[in-house]
Amino acid sequence: MYIDKKNIKMDFINELTTMYSEDIDEASNLHKYFALAKLVKKYSSQNWMRTNRKYKNTKKKQVYYFSMEFLIGRLLGNNLLNLGIKDTCKEALSELGISLNELEEIENDAGLGNGGLGRLAACFLDSMASLNIPGHGCGIRYYYGLFQQKIINGYQVEIPDHWLRDGNMWETRKEDKAVRIKFGGNVHSIMENNSLKFIHENYEEILAVPYDTPVIGYNTDTVNTLRLWNAETLDDDFDFATFNKGQYSKALEYKNSIESISQVLYPDDSKEEGKLLRLKQQYFLVSAGLQSIVRYYKKINVPINELNKYIAVQINDTHPSMAVAELMRILIDEENMTWDESFKITTNIMSYTNHTILSEALEKWPINMFKKLLPRIYMIIEEINRRFCEEIQNKYPNDTKKLNDMSIIFNGEIKMAHLAIVGSHSVNGVAKLHTELLKNKELKNFNEFYSGKFNNKTNGITHRRWLVKANPRLTEILCKTIGNQWIKNPLELEKFTNYAKDLNIQNKIREVKEKNKIDFCNYAKKIYDIDINPYSIFDVQVKRLHAYKRQLLNAFNILNLYYKLKENPSLDIIPRTFFFGGKAAPGYYLAKQIIKFINTVAVKINNDKDAIHGKLNVIFLPNYSVSLAEKIIPCADVSEQISTATKEASGTGNMKFMMNGSITIATLDGANIEIKEAVGDENIIIFGMNKEEVLSLEENKNYKANNYYYSDSRLMKIINSLVDNSLNVSSSEFKDIYSSLLEKNDEYFVLKDFDSYTKAQDKIDNLYRNKNKWQKMCIMNIGKSGIFSSDNTIKKYAKEIWHV
Ligand SMILES: *Cc1c(COP(=O)(O)O)cnc(C)c1O
């Protein structure tokens, strides 16, 4: 479709008039944003329709990405970019006296995810559409996204994220495509035509209503669909009998209890809650998703016993792993297929992505809770397990240990990862190291049992959002230097490495970063009323707050620098601003204490202007989100990726920074290892224990945190300051942090890696002094970042797992 400035101006004014009966002078920015969003959706609607029609007619295999989280962020800027009309639109609006930037800032982030896992799902949607792969998202339309974080007196305060309050122009409610979900009740069997039939009775039935959002590919006609499900009462079930007896509020209570299923996203990252409502959410998602898929294929006359030729379902972590059992239920109970045939088709369709080996994140459900809520699904899981255990016993007779270790149901619990592995034809890790640990350690028995099922797909990020959209200045330099083919084929960014030693390009890269930093300083002044020195090194750690990510290690190095400066105020260090950002799960007290600690250190240091001569600043950016990430990452000089080796499955923040020309200070963990392989040892700063050292300390149990405390006077001073009033807060304020390190023996080896980390930080200071060398490193990082585009990741999923 050809759209020029004139069209946009006319259409926009039209939209304002029809929607609000307002002209440009009268309309608020909110109304202008809504009018523009509606217009952009209109521009994509023909292609959306055509794409759907094409999929229906050609019956091409389609991929359904099942995920409890889609952290998509704002859509306006991205959609304009992918439609190829961003600049035109900007000019058109500007001629009407409207700033596109301002309108973009009005949009609420769709924060339907916690962190990396949900953001990965969003990047994958963008890549599938841009690569013309028929691939759709299937998730939950949470009424409240991840909470918004305020920092008050240094503490995290959680505010509900009422993102839908003013409406959402991108979604379309499809009430005619609703499906019914059954909870509770009981199951009995009868004989019918010589076969066993299962009858589910006395259940409670609720309605799942889909809301569809277009996923617009870049520079292509493909528009895929993100389908998010909303939980509602069945009209005929809304208890009017009760209502008539005058118990109106009781009837409403019932309605609320149903709607609560899609009310709120659980705010825990890398941790399992084990709550009944969460189990309901998971079944709600997989049942709604699979029922609507099966209904669609029946309608277009696809033989359901060949469904595996037409669809692939990717299970994003174990959260949607009940998809295995739900599809079995549909095929057996509703489509009257045999167990063996159903299981073959199901495993052919399903594939599972593992995201973590942290034990607290592995999902297990108590049998009693599960059975009561999902009696038929439980029966099916039991039968899958019975047959699986038989196979194990055949292969390893009398090996009870193996049997117990691998069984899906054990010790009163259902292990969802085991269900996902048994029910899928592919299990993938998300970075080389992570996959190796899965294959040779955590899931070794499964890897030996199912040879060839395990594979690696290193995570990626969409370079369209994280470079083209987030960093237009860098994009311009890249296009002027190596052309614009890299936007279609990100591997072509490699060409930029030829300019690593080009003084002119080095200079331009430095200018871009400086301008981005100045922009951010102005933004920070306006929004948070804080002053930041744009000429300092921007050292950034933004990600969820978690002990394994070791924000504490970063904070300890900062305190160490501060104490050094106090002792020697003329110490020659390059001025540095340390940025932190990240949310802690509301019930994760240690992580919340770490936030308070960082803010306490910030107050101490930022207010001590005499001692440190503006050389050190610490800033905690509240409410880390996709939109904030897009602002801060393009100004970062240093990217902090300092998790304990083996704990971060991949990381994707690391890739965003690299792509924007930051230098990574990193442990050999997750995808950091692959970044190092790509850029070479001289273009990344590595420190700390590697996987072998961590595993050996963990296995031999011979780590003694106290030894580091007593033998390193710097650590002793820092750790004492947690409890001795020197930071001007109560001595009990940080007692959980203190005890996690000394009494609980520092599970994540902060003390052990401290010395190595401080040396790495000194190295950064030194390198930054040599401008040419530093810029050369930045250019190498940008040029090598193409391999981490999610386009490459998705191509591998498509070829090796989905066969599309
Ligand atoms: C990329 C991203 C993450 C993941 O960051 P990691 O450093 O990989 O943990 C989390 N939150 C947001 C908002 C992101 O954009």
Segment 592-631, tens digit of pLDDT: 999 999 999 999 999 998 767 789 999 999 999 999 999 9
Ligand 1 pocket check for 119: Cβ under 6 Å: yes
The pLDDT value given to residue 481? 98
Q: Is 59 a catalytic residue?
A: no
Residue range(s) occupied by CATH 3.40.50.2000 in the chain? 59-74+109-454+795-802, 463-788
Whether residue 327 has pLDDT greater than 60: yes
**Main-chain dihedrals φ then ψ at residue 620, nearest 5 degrees:** -100, 115
Whether residue 88 has pLDDT greater than 90: yes
The CATH number of 463-788 is 3.40.50.2000
Whether residue 113 has pLDDT greater than 90: yes
| Residue 645 CB coordination number (10 Å) | 23
**Main-chain dihedrals φ then ψ at residue 745, nearest 5 degrees:** 60, 35
Distance 609 CA to ligand 1 centre (A): 33
Whether residue 647 has pLDDT greater than 60: yes
Ligand 1 pocket check for 459: Cβ under 6 Å: no
pLDDT confidence band for 240 (50 / 70 / 90):
low
Ligand 1 pocket check for 625: Cβ under 6 Å: yes
Segment 372-426, tens digit of pLDDT: 999 999 999 999 999 999 999 999 999 999 999 999 999 999 999 999 999 999 9
Segment 446-488, tens digit of pLDDT: 999 999 999 999 999 999 999 999 999 999 999 999 999 999 9
The pLDDT value given to residue 258? 92
Segment 542-573, tens digit of pLDDT: 999 999 999 999 999 999 999 999 999 999 99
Segment 259-290, tens digit of pLDDT: 999 999 999 998 888 899 999 999 999 999 99
**Are residues 127 and 790 in contact, defined by beta-carbon separation less than 8 angstroms?**
yes
Q: Is 355 a catalytic residue?
A: yes
Ligand 1 pocket check for 652: Cβ under 6 Å: yes
The pLDDT value given to residue 476? 98
Q: Is 318 a catalytic residue?
A: no
Separation of alpha carbons 601 and 668, rounded Å: 28
Lowest mean pLDDT among 109-123, 157-171, 185-199, 786-800: 185-199
Residue 27 DSSP SS3: coil
Ligand 1 pocket check for 543: Cβ under 6 Å: yes
Separation of alpha carbons 122 and 625, rounded Å: 13
Distance 119 CA to ligand 1 centre (A): 7
Residue 368, classified by CB atoms within 10 Å of its CB into exposed (0-12), middle (13-18) or buried (19+), is exposed
Q: Which atom of ligand 1 is nearest to the CA of 71?
A: 13
**Strands 576-581 and 311-316, bridge-based pairing:** unpaired
Whether residue 244 has pLDDT greater than 70: no
Q: Catalytic: which of 227, 434, 513, 543?
A: 543
Mean pLDDT to the nearest integer, 173-187: 98
DSSP 8-state secondary structure symbol assigned to residue 630: H
563: closest CA among 688, 724, 726? Answer: 726
Protein residue with least CA distance to atom 7, ligand 1: 653
Separation of alpha carbons 341 and 220, rounded Å: 38
The class that CATH gives domain 59-74+109-454+795-802 is alpha beta
Query: What's the predicted TM-score (pTM) here?
Result: 0.98
Distance 64 CA to ligand 1 centre (A): 23
Whether residue 236 has pLDDT greater than 90: no
| Contacts of 117 by beta carbon, 8 Å cutoff, 6+ apart | 67, 69, 269, 316, 317, 355
The pLDDT value given to residue 139? 98
Percentage of the chain modeled with pLDDT above 70: 98
The pLDDT value given to residue 239? 59
pLDDT confidence band for 237 (50 / 70 / 90):
low
User: Residue type at 313?
Assistant: V
Mean pLDDT to the nearest integer, 8-22: 97
pLDDT confidence band for 6 (50 / 70 / 90):
very high
pLDDT confidence band for 248 (50 / 70 / 90):
confident
Q: Is 758 a catalytic residue?
A: no
Distance 626 CA to ligand 1 centre (A): 8
Whether residue 110 has pLDDT greater than 70: yes
Ligand 1 pocket check for 460: Cβ under 6 Å: no
pLDDT averaged over the chain? 96
pLDDT confidence band for 303 (50 / 70 / 90):
very high
Q: Catalytic: which of 32, 280, 469, 544?
A: 544
Q: Is 549 a catalytic residue?
A: yes
pLDDT confidence band for 205 (50 / 70 / 90):
very high
Distance 142 CA to ligand 1 centre (A): 20
